[in-house]
Amino acid sequence: MSGQGFHVHGPHDHEIEHATQGHGAGHTSSIALFTAIIATVGALFGYMGGATQANAGLYKNNAAIKKTEASNQWNYYQAKSSKQNLSELALELAPATKKEFYTEEIKRYKSEKAEIKTAAEKLEAESKTWDDRSDAQMHQHHRWAQATTVLQVAIAMAAIALLTQRKWLEYVMYGAGAIGFLVGILAALHI
């Protein structure tokens, strides 16, 4: 009857009271708080990693599209070259009355080829720019993934430190959290 001042404790009640009266509660709370913060930061880093990976794929796709457009231009250039070559051959074989016509054709093909070449080179440059952007995004994605992984290790170390009550594991936990956070900063800075 606990209402009259008589109370019986179970064997684990003493340990629970001991933990909740400050003899471990602060320790447990600090690890729990650390875990919650690191899990939140890790979730943000994971999101950023996914976003950069998606961007890298989109940029690589844009690079492939521009490369295909450039290839089409080079094929068009080659077709004009073939027509120019035929006109040059025709100029040699044609009667004098047709020579002026073929001379003009050759000039036209040369002019058209110059424009086509400029367009093809521009498309190749755009393809390279998209490729470079994709590579940069993949590098950043790897940084976000590294940061997320190290933060996950920190969370695992927190659980192990909490269960084993080993102080050195807490240091590992805090160290891994700091390293993960620093790698995340490197990712944010595109380093």
Q: pLDDT for 87-129, tens place per residue? A: 999 999 989 999 999 999 999 999 999 999 999 999 999 999 9
Is residue 22 one of the residues assigned to a domain? Answer: no
Residues above pLDDT 90, as percent of the chain: 75
Asked whether residue 137 is domain-assigned, the answer is: yes
Residue 13 located in a structural domain: no
Distance CA 107, CA 111 (A): 6
Domain that holds residue 58: 35-188
25 located within any domain: no
Does 12 score more than 50 pLDDT?
Answer: no
Return the SS3 of 155.
helix
Averaged pLDDT, 158-187 = 92
Rounded CA-CA distance 170/178 in Å is 12
Residue 16 has pLDDT above 70, yes or no: no
Q: Please count the structural domains in the chain.
A: 1
Burial of residue 183 (CB within 10 Å: 0-12, 13-18, 19+) is buried
Position 10 pLDDT exceeds 90 = no
For residue 29, tell me if it sits in a domain: no
| Entry pTM | 0.71
Give per-residue pLDDT as tens, 46-97. 999 999 999 999 999 999 999 999 999 999 999 999 999 999 999 999 899 9
The answer to whether residue 110 sits within a structural domain is yes
Residue 37 has pLDDT above 50, yes or no: yes
Report the 10 Å Cβ neighbour count for 35.
Answer: 20
